[in-house]
């Protein structure tokens, strides 16, 4: 079935199809097929012969592995089934329509021809399935993980002279199943709950019996350089439930069977599956409270910052959609079409271990007061649920619970039209937030026209883009005198660098400006920078330098948060430069110099093309 003009335009603007020569793209005109599926319908099952590569024109698709676990939830512009096509044309997953879907299907022979003949097409799909992001969708390889990423650092200890009653009370209070027994900073034994029950209680020992009488002396240990397989083998061979980690004779950590279980459970597919099945807000909160541990494991596995933040954001998206479904179960089906959108870091798919909520609702036009009233408690329910799940209320009240951000689509058109026409300070601030909108649940078509029309109007208005550029330069990089890093001078975060406001946000602002200048659709910051380079909004050399600088700053921020979580602290964005080596500080400063250079180029209106 030949493509209609809408589908043709849609596909022609989508990478990697936009990189195909006209002749190659014209081949799609005759060979591509349309497929429509109602909500819940099977698209293909594991082991079936595939009809081709699927591209989602509208709707959402759920992909499951051989165990039925959700490994991805795809939406408009995403493609799927290519992995099966590259492995003999047989499906290696199953796919179902999450809601009503319209798909473009590229036959296998055409898919393989495009891969063989066109480097951008081949590079796109080969890279998509060679990244650590794809590997991380499955279970982490526990056998290759370093012990340092598995262990609990600074375990609770006791002296061998402590009474068994005091030891039992300490375990109870700390909610742990063992104590490491230390004398003169040296590990001399280990005491477990089993020792207390099997030796002390079973033998009727006095409460004041010293721990040394029932502990396991000189326990087996491993060093931090060991790997997960060493832990597994030693635990299985000697039937151990607890394994101390010792370095240079000093106790530095402990690995328990619980730690191994937690590590194996730390994969995004498991999170998505658990969230999708959650019946209550409490169930969802139980899922999201595991996210800090997930962040640590993803960083420890060597995943790049944009992979980690994308995976964490995917969980937030599923949680949001589940809350939307729960809201409709509670208040009844929505009386009008709506689309729930996220802005801020969730909108850009850049959530880390510290995230509040920024969201809004776009409703269909011709909605009456009764219909409008339905969405007030609806929005409150979802926002309250997000807050309970750790996505705290937006301090600026940029949420769908605010009537201003819960309006029909025509009002939203008016909002953006006014901001672009009269770019005052508030308009600049609001536009900065709203240009990062991304639909999460509901009818995405309500947003499509708004996004395209607004981008076109904004990019064409030089006065508006000039004001937005000024607003984008309000966040300075932390560069001090004498080639050093400028730290916060007073207050709670004294002697630290704010890696969000002074590090990541300046690049987020630059990426947004490039998107406005070039009428670019991506919302994710890294994708915006790549699109700006491809579209020659900025020079290749300047753009590549900025990409590298952003990667370093964002990765350093994420590494900092992972270290805090491992130490049992709540993650934040305030990095003490003293935590970094001289080498790391030097490269971080170089990254900030690149960012400042690109800010200066934006201010001069030349985008580093000169």
Residue 489: strand, helix, or coil: coil
pLDDT of res. 533: 93
Give the mean pLDDT of the chain.
Answer: 86
pLDDT of res. 130: 45
Last residue of a domain, one of 452, 469, 486: 469
Residue with tokens 């060679």: 130
pLDDT of res. 192: 94
pLDDT of res. 67: 62
Residue 137 lies in a domain: no
- 505 versus 121: which is more confidently predicted? 505
Contacts of 74 (CB under 8 A, 6+ apart): 56, 60, 61, 62, 63, 80
pLDDT band at 407 (very low <50, low <70, confident <90, very high): very high
CA dihedral (188, 192, 197, 201) in degrees, to 10, reads: 30
Residue 143: pLDDT above 60?
A: no
* 568/571 Cα distance (integer angstroms): 9
The domain tally of the chain equals: 4
Q: What percent of the chain has pLDDT over 90?
A: 49
370 with 233, same domain: the answer is no
283 with 378, same domain: the answer is yes
Residue 409: pLDDT above 80?
A: yes
CATH number of the domain bearing residue 257 = 3.10.580.10
Last residue of a domain, one of 195, 230, 262: 262
pLDDT of res. 159: 96
* 105/120 Cα distance (integer angstroms): 19
* pTM, rounded to two decimals: 0.61
Cβ 39 vs Cβ 99: under 8 Å: yes
Q: Please write down the HEC assignment for all residues of 127-144.
A: HHCCCHHHHHCCCCCHHH
Count of other CB atoms within 10 angstroms of residue 593: 15
pLDDT band at 232 (very low <50, low <70, confident <90, very high): confident
Residue 109 lies in a domain: yes
pLDDT of res. 582: 83
312 with 450, same domain: the answer is yes
* 376/330 Cα distance (integer angstroms): 13
The pLDDT of 480-486, averaged and rounded, is 72
Strands 186-192 and 178-183: antiparallel
435 with 313, same domain: the answer is yes
282 with 405, same domain: the answer is yes
pLDDT of res. 211: 96
pLDDT of res. 1: 39
Residue 328 lies in a domain: yes
The pLDDT of 531-543, averaged and rounded, is 92
Tokens describing residue 487: 């730290």
pLDDT of res. 263: 64
Tokens describing residue 279: 């019946």
Write out the residue range of the structural domain in which residue 248 sits: 143-262
253 with 273, same domain: the answer is no
Least confidently predicted of 6-20, 105-119, 500-514: 6-20
Residue 68: pLDDT above 80?
A: no
117 with 186, same domain: the answer is no
* 379/381 Cα distance (integer angstroms): 5
405 with 290, same domain: the answer is yes
Residue 169: pLDDT above 90?
A: yes
pLDDT of res. 75: 78
pLDDT of res. 183: 93
pLDDT band at 199 (very low <50, low <70, confident <90, very high): very high
Last residue of a domain, one of 235, 262, 289: 262
* 336/321 Cα distance (integer angstroms): 17
CATH number of the domain bearing residue 27 = 2.60.120.10
Using omega within 30 degrees of 0 as the cis cutoff, is the peptide bond preceding 492 cis? Answer: no
177 with 295, same domain: the answer is no
- 258 versus 501: which is more confidently predicted? 501
95 with 221, same domain: the answer is no
Residue 120 lies in a domain: yes
Least confidently predicted of 134-138, 365-369, 381-385: 134-138
Residue 547 lies in a domain: yes
Residue 138 lies in a domain: no
Express each pLDDT in 328-360 by its tens digit. Answer: 999 999 999 999 999 999 999 999 987 889 999
pLDDT of res. 136: 39
Using omega within 30 degrees of 0 as the cis cutoff, is the peptide bond preceding 16 cis? Answer: yes
Distance set, CA 67 to CA 71, 92, 317, 498 (Å): 10, 11, 22, 43
pLDDT band at 594 (very low <50, low <70, confident <90, very high): very high
Residue 136 lies in a domain: no
CATH number of the domain bearing residue 420 = 3.30.460.10
449 with 511, same domain: the answer is no
Residue 131: pLDDT above 50?
A: no
Residue 221 lies in a domain: yes
Residue 606: pLDDT above 60?
A: no
* 274/36 Cα distance (integer angstroms): 28
- 245 versus 432: which is more confidently predicted? 245
The pLDDT of 292-314, averaged and rounded, is 85
CATH number of the domain bearing residue 577 = 1.20.120
Taking alpha carbons only, the member of 244, 249, 58, 25 closest to residue 151 is 244
529 with 501, same domain: the answer is yes
pLDDT of res. 241: 87
């Amino acid at each position: 079935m030949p493509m209609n003009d809408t589908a043709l335009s849609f596909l022609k603007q989508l990478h990697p199809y936009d990189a195909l020569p006209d002749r190659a793209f014209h081949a799609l005109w005759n060979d591509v097929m349309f497929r429509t599926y109602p909500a819940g319908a099977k698209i293909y099952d594991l082991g079936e012969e595939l009809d081709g590569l699927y591209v989602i024109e509208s709707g959402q698709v759920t992909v499951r592995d051989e165990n039925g676990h959700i490994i991805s939830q795809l939406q408009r512009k995403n493609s799927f089934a290519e992995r099966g096509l590259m492995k003999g044309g047989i499906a290696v997953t199953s796919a179902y329509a999450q809601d009503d879907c319209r798909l473009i299907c590229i036959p296998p022979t055409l898919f393989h021809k495009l891969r063989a003949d066109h480097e951008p097409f081949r590079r796109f799909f080969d890279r998509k399935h060679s990244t650590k992001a794809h590997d991380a969708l499955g279970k982490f390889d526990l056998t290759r993980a370093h012990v340092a990423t598995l262990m609990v650092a600074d375990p609770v200890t006791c002296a061998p002279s402590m009474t068994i009653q005091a030891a039992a009370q300490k375990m109870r209070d700390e909610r742990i199943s063992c104590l490491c027994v230390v004398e003169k900073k040296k590990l001399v034994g280990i005491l477990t709950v089993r020792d207390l029950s099997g030796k002390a209680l079973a033998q009727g020992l006095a409460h004041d019996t010293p721990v040394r009488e029932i502990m396991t002396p000189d326990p087996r240990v491993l060093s931090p350089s060991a790997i997960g397989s060493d832990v597994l083998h030693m635990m299985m061979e000697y039937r151990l439930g607890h394994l101390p980690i010792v370095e240079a004779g000093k106790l530095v950590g402990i690995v328990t069977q619980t730690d191994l279980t937690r590590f194996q459970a730390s994969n995004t597919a498991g999170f998505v599956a658990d969230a999708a099945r959650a019946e209550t807000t409490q169930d969802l909160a139980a899922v999201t409270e595991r996210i800090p541990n997930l962040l640590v494991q993803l960083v420890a596995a060597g995943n790049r910052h944009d992979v980690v933040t994308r995976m964490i954001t995917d969980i937030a998206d599923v949680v949001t959609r589940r809350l939307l479904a729960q809201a409709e179960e509670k208040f009844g089906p929505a009386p009008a079409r709506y689309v729930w959108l996220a802005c801020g870091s969730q909108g850009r798919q850049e959530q880390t271990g510290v995230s509040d909520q920024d969201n809004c609702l776009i409703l269909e036009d011709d909605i009456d007061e009764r219909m409008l009233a339905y969405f007030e408690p609806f929005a409150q329910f979802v926002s309250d649920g997000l807050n309970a799940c750790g996505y705290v209320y937006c301090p600026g009240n940029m949420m769908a619970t605010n009537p201003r951000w819960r309006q029909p689509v025509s009002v939203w058109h008016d909002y953006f039209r006014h901001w672009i026409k009269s770019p005052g300070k508030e308009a600049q601030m609001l536009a900065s937030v709203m240009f990062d909108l991304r639909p999460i649940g509901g009818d995405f078509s309500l947003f499509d026209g708004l996004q395209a029309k607004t981008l076109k109007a904004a990019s064409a208005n030089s006065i508006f883009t000039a004001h937005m550029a000024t607003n984008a330069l309000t966040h300075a990089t932390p560069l001090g005198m004498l080639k050093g890093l400028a730290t916060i001078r007073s207050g709670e975060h004294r002697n630290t660098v704010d890696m969000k406001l002074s590090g990541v946000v300046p690049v987020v602002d630059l990426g947004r400006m490039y998107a406005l200048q070039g009428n670019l659709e991506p919302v994710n910051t890294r994708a915006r920078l790549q699109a700006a380079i491809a579209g020659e909004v900025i020079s290749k050399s300047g753009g590549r330098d900025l990409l590298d600088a952003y990667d370093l700053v964002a990765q350093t921020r994420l590494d900092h948060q992972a270290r805090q979580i491992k130490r049992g602290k709540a993650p934040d964005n305030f990095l003490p430069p003293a935590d970094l080596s001289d080498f790391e500080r030097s490269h971080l400063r170089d990254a900030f110099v690149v960012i400042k250079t690109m800010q200066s180029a934006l201010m001069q209106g030349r985008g580093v093309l000169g």
